[in-house]
Structure formats: structure tokens, C-alpha cells
Structure 1
Amino acid sequence: MEKREDLNSILPFLPIILRSSSLFWPSKALESLKALALGPDVSRVDSGEVLFDAILDLRDAIGLSSERLASRAADGYALFFDELMSRVDSRVWFGEVIPSLAKLLVRLPSLLEAHYQNADEVFGEGKAGLRIMGPQEAGIVFLSQELIAALLACSLFCLFATSERSVRYLPLINFDQLFAALHPHGKQSQEQKIKCIVHYFERICHCMPTGFVSFERKSLPLKQSCHDISYPKAAFWRKSTVSLCPFEVFSSGLIEEQQCEALEVDFANEYLGGGALNRGCVQEEIRFMINPELIIGMLFMASMGYNEAIEIVGVERFSCYVGYGSSFCFAGDYLDKKLFDSIGRRKTRIVAIDALCSPRMMQYEVDCLVRETNKAFCGFLDSSIYQHCLKIFQDADENSNEVSIANRNIFPVCETTTTTEQVKDPDISENESASNLDLIGNTENKSCQVIDSQEDIGIATGNWGCGAFGGDPEIKSMIQWLAASQALRPFIHYYTFGEAALQRLEQVTQWILLHGWTVGDLWSMIVEYSFQRLSGEANVGFLTWLLPDHSTRDVQYMSE
């Protein structure tokens, strides 16, 4: 294979080498992997303690001996495989799973070469191949489930270089911290997380999945353009005439188990995966345990800026679970019955969006409201909808000599350049340019939804940015509604997880829909409420403030 830019970007972080346009394991590492593949009678790897010694030998063979692993990692591997795992399961693990994973790793160079060749043939050179996707580098990577399995095996054996990852804003990807956090007390939730990972490896060694997974870095450009959907300002939301989409509240159930086809929200950390490979065990970390293929995005996806999101399509679920946080528990095998799309991906769509952490009263300031709404909008937006709408109105203009698409204010385009500093402190002046206005309203909105191939895919979400992140669940629910509606999603399914503050959510959302509110109407009410919270005039939640007496309060249209 020829040298290529995307391979060169990821190669320093992989355990293999490029020589004479081909990929190889270092010879000593290949010998060790072949020995492991022959089973414990040859390799002598029959316990967690010996497995970790083999890991150290492999790391030495690929030149990683100078990079230290977590101090308690050796104890964690030994504790799990030699004490917490049953003898029966241990015999299967070391007699069958470890040899199978070693055979898979022997094939890693050929899997990567085939990956790059296929990605170029299908998507064009450099368009979808494995590469480091840094901040503000929008794009997509398509990986086979088999290649993902091989790369995750590298994580288990701690074969990824780590010394330069922080410089590239990349999270850690080896499993040493995951196992180190298990020792010395055998923390229950940590043990259960590892059980999910171990179960995944057992499954793929028994029957290798044959589908594909895509990882897409999405971005709302900070610099305004006539051709891209750019980062909106406050006036965009205030003046939007888009109708709010249907909103259905679920007081029980889980996002990942909803029945409708929807984009499922990952309450993410800015570093994809959050504490999944450490001590974390809340919404994002749990999702990464039951869908372990998500983890591989941590290999090449740099941390998200506030104008970015990461959408992942096609991951398979392998585990059932119960509980949350400290009560999380692996509950056995899960057979994923999701259908596949035309390019071999399961129709499981997950979007990672990171909320402000511990915003306290700052979350009611307009610049923070803009940041959170834009973050959700970036994640929820399907750019193909914009392209369809653009084509519709271009055709209409040609036929009727109507105003141009830019002047119709479908998206915030063709504005003056916006710098990073401006986005950090958005301009909220009443004199904001009217060219940064709303998306689509009334019948024009419906036309775009009808012709879009993704029109039936809504949003499945919940208390994003709340809980450990400290966000206001009432405001966050409304922000996500704004973003989903503006992105032309046909519905939101909102899972409250028993949040007491959201007991009136269904009543209020249905009242708003009954009165035909637009995105701009709801945004203006959120801003008014937030101003009163900051000034001390309001001391109740948004839902109570909006409908204080359960009556038919008139819609309040804010004057400009």
C-alpha cells in the first residue's frame, strides 16, 4: 500500500510499523502473538498475573517499555482473572479467548491494509479511512466490526502508545486504568464494567460480527459561509419561526431500549467516553460498556469543541445490565436485533454531545444558553436536510424570481466572519444582524421533511447535562426541544429517569404544542425566565414559572 496522509496521522499511535509500503508487527511482537495464539500449553499464559507479564513483554517488543502503565494495573488484572472470575470461566478465557484474540491481532496489519483499500474504493481516497480526527476537523471514519475488535484487543493488551495523546487532545485508550481502578477493594461497579468488556471479547471470538460502524465528527463552523451551516447567535434562536416538534415524555424506560428509530443522545464528556476506561459509571460510561465498539472512537477522536458533536452509527449491543452508578451490574448476554442499513451498519444512531460542567447560575446567562442550544443543534442536525431545503428554495427562486436562499434565512449563513472569541461570548445585542435568522417555517418546513430520507428519525434523550454535570433539568429539556425542532427532527422522546423536577414536563409541553409555539417563542420565554433567575425575581423552576396555576396562560410573544 502507498503512504497516505490519514495512515500517517494514526500510525504513531498504533502498535504496528510501516515498511516498504506495507504494515507489519515488529518481529519479536509477532513471535509473542503467535505463541499466545497456540494456547496456554505453549504460551504458559493461564492466569491474570501471567497475562499481565505477557502484556509487558508485548509492550517491550513494540518499544513501549518506557511508557508506564497505571501503578495498580497488574494487581487489577490478577484480581479479576484469578479471583473474581470463576475457574470454569477462567479456563475458557485463557484456553479459548486469549488465543483467539492473539490470532486476531496477528491479522491486524492485513485488516488495516484492507480497510484503507476498501475505504478509498467506496468513499474516495482519504474520505473515510482511519485517522486522527482533531478539533474542528469534520469528517467520517468507516470501520468494520472485525477491525474494531482487533483494535479493542490492542486496548486489552495495552498496546497503544500514550505519550503524545494529550498533545493531540486524545483520551487514553488502553485498559490499564480500567483494571487498576478495580484494586484494591474490588469495587462492585468496576468489576461489572469489566465483565461487560470480557463478555464482548467472548462473543466476538465465538462469532465475529461482519457489519460496519461509522464515526462522524460534526461541526458548526465558527466562520460564516454561504455554503455551510454556521454557528448561530442569539438572534437566530429568538427570531426562528420553526414550529416545535412533537414531544413525548417517558417516566420509565431507557434511551437505548426505545422502539422508534431515533438518534440516541450520549450525555458525553468533551473527551469521548468520559470515565468509561477509568472509574466512571454513569450514562455515557454505561453505554460504552454495553456497546463496547463505541470505545474505539476514543482512539482517534480528539476532544470536542463547543461547536462540535460526534455521531456514531452501527454499534452492536452485547450486554444487558441493571442499576446505575454504584449499583450498575452486568446482567448477561444481549442479542441485538437492530436491522442494517444499505452500507452494513446497524440502525443504532448515537450522538455524543457534552454539556457545560457545574455551570451553577452561569447556565442562565444568554451566552451559556446559546452554547448549550448550539451544542445540541450540532448533534441533532442532519446536513442532508439543509441540502434538500437549499435545493427546494433555489428551484423556487429560479421559477418565481423570489428572494435568494440567503435572504430567506434558512440557516445562519452569509454573515460576517465570527471568531472563536465571539462564539465564547456570543453577541446578544438587539441590533444583531437580521441575516442571522431562523431556519424554515410553516409549509416550507414541511416540504423539506417530506423529501428527506431521514425524516422519520427523531431524538431519544433525557436529562443531558444534569446530575453530575449540575445542569437545570427543566431548562435542559427545553433546550434540547429547541435544537431538535430547529434541526427538523420529527419528534423527541424524552426519558425523565424519575427526575422530580420534571413531573410537569408532559403537561407543559402539551400545553405549548396546543398553543402552536415556535422555536423563537420558546427561546424568548427561556431567556425571560433566565433573566429573572439571575436577578432574583424567579425562585421556582421553569415549568412552574411558565404555568404557575395549571391554567390556560396565553402565549407570550416577545417583542423585538
Structure 2
Amino acid sequence: MHVLCCISHDSELIAALLACSFFCLFPEVGRRLKHLQGINFDELFWSLYTRQCMKQESKIRCIVHYFERVCQCMPRGFVSFERKVLPLEYNPNYVSYPEAEYWAKSTTPLCSVQVHSTGVIEDQPGETLEVEFADEYFGGLTLRHGCLQEEIRFMMNPELIAGMLFLPRMDKNEAIEIVGAERFTLYTGFGSSFQFAGDYLNNKELESYMRRRTRVVAIDAIPRPGRRQYKPDGLLREVNKAFTGYLHQCKHQAGTLPSSASGSQVVECSERLCIDHEEKKIGVATGNWGCGVFGGDPEVKIMLQWLAISQSGRPFMSYYTFGLQALQNVNQVVERIGLQEMNVGELWSKLVEYSTERFSRRTKLGFFSWLITSHSLPPIE
């Protein structure tokens, strides 16, 4: 298990690290043994010779555009990378990795929900915690052939790539939060249709620790879960993973870290680096986490995220459906759950009951239809 830590680099150092990656200067031997991603660009360059070269060319154009921008005017400020950990051992002085009973007994009210059928997470107005649908290895296939939500986010905000150098694979009780990574590019498309679409000027201001007010949290879902996602351990794993990412770690940490500084690298106690985070109520902008190629049930996943966001004390969930047909009625379902004044524990119990029936094949209904028909909620018009 890894320990809670937060590392901050200034933008100039990050640019230097990315230049070394671009020219393939980092030694790669032994990185996988340490559960670290490959950090050089050689596989990305090699992928230009594959059949899907258009998206790969666009990925390289995003990186080259980043270098053009920083050579014209080096950004000022810092980017922090925080490994968020919920300890597996119980301790009454801080929040540890919850068991199912924790969720079943919660009386926390459900937070408000805003649903968007169009738009994207990174364009959410104001300051929010923006969810990155991560691989367990931070960055996923960014420097290889991948071009889904995580990889596209890393192309828009190339400073995120620096974290691949030193952030090992996430365990089930870990997430990674990045504050301050600047966005440099516009894009169109998704997957094989991804294309670089020009320059983007980031107008988000710097906060007191000289980081841009862009907050990204990386949480990895269970890949291709199949029926396991309806088992108690599958539900618990996913809700706890989201909870780890959304919780204010600095408020509930198990201890503090020593503070030190060396040149442009700063290692700070997590509590210091998120004082501003605590002073304001920052909501969560998310979407179909763990769905799509990961194969998760979108009706279950959105409810699990709602539970985790509410339990972590966030004021709202801003959810982008990306036009997914399975979620076309989510607004009405959220409204009806609100009319019943359900809390976290009650909604969790409904999910567990439904998932038990779904796993045993006693129902083939989706969660929304099951909830409406089985629990006397007003029907969806």
C-alpha cells in the first residue's frame, strides 16, 4: 500500500521533464517492476505507422503545440499531484476504507444533481473537481495507441503526463488528484476520430499556492466487470474508489508529511496544499465513469457516484451523459428519488437489493425501471 503524499512541480520543471520524455531520454528498465508507466514517447512515435495514424498524429500535434506555447511564454505557477489513500485498517481518528455497513447506515442527505445531455466535463463552468476516467496506471495509453477520455485529457493538459514519471499503479483504496494543470489545446472527435483543433487559452486564475484553479481527479473503475459489478464486493469496490477520489483527504488524513523544498520541486503536507480546497464548497463534474469500453452498467454507476459525492460532503454532482441513451431518463429518476427524500443509506440499500436480483437473474430490468416499478415511485412520463 502506498502512503498519502502530495508533490508539486513548477511549470518550467514540468516542461523540462516532458522534453526529456519527448526525446526518449528516461531509462525504462525496471519501471514495470515498480508498477510505473512507460514515460518515453517512442511507442507513440512508432504508432504513427499503424492504421489509425490520424489520431496519433493529432496526439503528437497536441504535444508539439504545448512546446510551442511554453517556448513562446513559459507558464508560471505550480502543478500538484496528490495520492489520496483511504487506509484499510480501521482508526477512529480518520476515515478508513468503508465496509458495506458504513454505507447502509449513512444518514447523509443526497447532494443536488445537474444533468447535461450535451457538453463535456472540462468545460464545466466555475471551479469543480473534474473526473478523469483513469486506468489503474495513471495516464493509461496516453503514450501509446489509446485515445479515450483519459488520453484525450492528457493531450489537452500535457502537464498531467509528468505524473506518469513518478506515480505508481493505484490500488483499490487510492486515487490521484492533480491541481493546476493548464489546458493548451482544443480538439474534436473521440477515439479514432480524435483531432487536434487548435490553440486554447486557459483563463483560470492562480490560487494562493500558485496553481491554476483546475482540479482533476483520476479514479479507475473495474474493467469489463460483467456480472461481478452486481455482487456486493463489486458495488463496494466502485463506491469506495469514487469516495476516495471525492473526499477532502486533507480533512481526514491519518497524519502529516514533512515539508521540504529543493529548487523548483516542492513536497508539501497535503493539509497545507488544500486549505483553499476546504474553504470553498467545490462540487464534482463527472460522466459515464467505468462505462463504454470498460463495460459498466451506466444506471448503477451514476448512482454509485451520487452516493460517493454526497457522502464526501460535496455540494453537487454535475453529470455529463454524452448523449448516452441508457441515461435519457436520469433527470426524472433523480427527481423522484428526491421526492422520496432518500438519504445515502437508503439509496445504497436499494442498489444492493437491485444488484442481488440482477446477479441472480431474478430481474432483467435496468435499475431505473426496477426502482420505479418495485418501489411505488411515480412513473416516468
Shared fold, TM over 0.5: yes
Which residue pairs with 2:77 in the alignment? 211
Question: Which residues in structure 2 correspond to 1:219-230 (within 5 Å)?
Answer: 219-230=85-96
Which residue pairs with 2:232 in the alignment? 366
Q: Which letter maps to 1:487?
A: S
With over 3 angstroms needed to count, the CA separation of the structure-2 counterparts of 1:488 and 1:180, relative to structure 1, is same
Counterpart secondary structure, 1:548: helix
Which residue pairs with 2:305 in the alignment? 480
Counterpart secondary structure, 2:9: strand
Residue 453 of structure 1: how far off its partner (Å): 3.3
User: Does the CA-based 8 Å contact 1:261-1:456 persist in structure 2?
Assistant: no
Which residue pairs with 1:349 in the alignment? 215
With over 3 angstroms needed to count, the CA separation of the structure-2 counterparts of 1:379 and 1:452, relative to structure 1, is closer
- Establish whether residue 503 from structure 1 lines up as the match of residue 328 from structure 2: yes
User: Does the CA-based 8 Å contact 2:219-2:245 persist in structure 1?
Assistant: yes
Q: 1 CA distance for matches of 2:195 and 2:376?
A: 44
Q: Which letter maps to 1:218?
A: K
Which residue pairs with 2:26 in the alignment? 160
Q: 2 CA distance for matches of 1:357 and 1:145?
A: 33
Residue 484 of structure 1: how far off its partner (Å): 0.3
Residue 320 of structure 1: how far off its partner (Å): 0.3
From 283, 292, 310, give the equivalent of 2:176.
310
Question: Which residues in structure 2 correspond to 1:21-420 (within 5 Å)?
Answer: 135-185=1-51, 187-386=53-252
Q: Which structure is higher in strand share?
A: 2
Report 1 or 2 for greater relative contact order, CA contacts < 8 Å, sequence distance ≥ 6: 2
With over 3 angstroms needed to count, the CA separation of the structure-2 counterparts of 1:253 and 1:454, relative to structure 1, is farther
Q: 1 CA distance for matches of 2:113 and 2:350?
A: 18
Q: 2 CA distance for matches of 1:358 and 1:159?
A: 35
Which residue pairs with 1:542 in the alignment? 367
Residue 511 of structure 1: how far off its partner (Å): 1.3
User: Does the CA-based 8 Å contact 2:248-2:278 persist in structure 1?
Assistant: no
Question: Whose Rg is larger?
Answer: 1
Q: 2 CA distance for matches of 1:517 and 1:549?
A: 15
Q: 2 CA distance for matches of 1:196 and 1:324?
A: 14
Counterpart secondary structure, 2:49: coil
CA RMSD of aligned residues (A): 1.7
> Can you list the C-alpha shifts for 1:288-327, whole angstroms capped at 9, x where unaligned?
0010000000000000000000000000000000111111
> Can you list the C-alpha shifts for 1:139-159, whole angstroms capped at 9, x where unaligned?
000100000000000001101
Residue 223 of structure 1: how far off its partner (Å): 1.3
With over 3 angstroms needed to count, the CA separation of the structure-2 counterparts of 1:548 and 1:503, relative to structure 1, is farther
User: Does the CA-based 8 Å contact 1:242-1:485 persist in structure 2?
Assistant: yes
Counterpart secondary structure, 1:312: strand
Which residue pairs with 2:289 in the alignment? 464
Q: 2 CA distance for matches of 1:350 and 1:462?
A: 13
Q: 2 CA distance for matches of 1:312 and 1:523?
A: 29
Q: Which letter maps to 1:274?
A: G
Q: Which structure is higher in helix share?
A: 1
User: Does the CA-based 8 Å contact 1:317-1:336 persist in structure 2?
Assistant: yes
Which residue pairs with 1:522 in the alignment? 347
With over 3 angstroms needed to count, the CA separation of the structure-2 counterparts of 1:456 and 1:306, relative to structure 1, is same
Residue 216 of structure 1: how far off its partner (Å): 0.2
Q: 2 CA distance for matches of 1:295 and 1:452?
A: 23
Residue 455 of structure 1: how far off its partner (Å): 3.8
Counterpart secondary structure, 1:305: coil
User: Does the CA-based 8 Å contact 2:84-2:176 persist in structure 1?
Assistant: yes
Q: 1 CA distance for matches of 2:144 and 2:309?
A: 32
Q: 2 CA distance for matches of 1:365 and 1:185?
A: 39
Q: 2 CA distance for matches of 1:137 and 1:385?
A: 16
Counterpart secondary structure, 2:278: coil
User: Does the CA-based 8 Å contact 2:48-2:56 persist in structure 1?
Assistant: yes
Q: Which letter maps to 1:286?
A: I
Residue 513 of structure 1: how far off its partner (Å): 1.6
Structure 1: runs of 5 or more not aligned: 1-134, 388-450, 555-560
Q: Which letter maps to 1:378?
A: T
- Establish whether residue 492 from structure 1 lines up as the match of residue 317 from structure 2: yes
Structure 2: runs of 5 or more not aligned: 254-275
User: Does the CA-based 8 Å contact 2:136-2:170 persist in structure 1?
Assistant: yes
Counterpart secondary structure, 2:373: coil
With over 3 angstroms needed to count, the CA separation of the structure-2 counterparts of 1:208 and 1:491, relative to structure 1, is same
Residue 382 of structure 1: how far off its partner (Å): 0.3
User: Does the CA-based 8 Å contact 2:84-2:249 persist in structure 1?
Assistant: no
Length-normalised TM-score, structure 2: 0.91
Which residue pairs with 2:266 in the alignment? none
Residue 185 of structure 1: how far off its partner (Å): 4.2
Q: 1 CA distance for matches of 2:159 and 2:119?
A: 23
Residue 202 of structure 1: how far off its partner (Å): 0.6
With over 3 angstroms needed to count, the CA separation of the structure-2 counterparts of 1:546 and 1:166, relative to structure 1, is same
Residue 184 of structure 1: how far off its partner (Å): 4.7
> Can you list the C-alpha shifts for 1:308-367, whole angstroms capped at 9, x where unaligned?
000000000000001111111110000000111101000000000000000000100001
Residue 454 of structure 1: how far off its partner (Å): 4.2
> Can you list the C-alpha shifts for 1:80-99, whole angstroms capped at 9, x where unaligned?
xxxxxxxxxxxxxxxxxxxx
User: Does the CA-based 8 Å contact 1:384-1:452 persist in structure 2?
Assistant: no
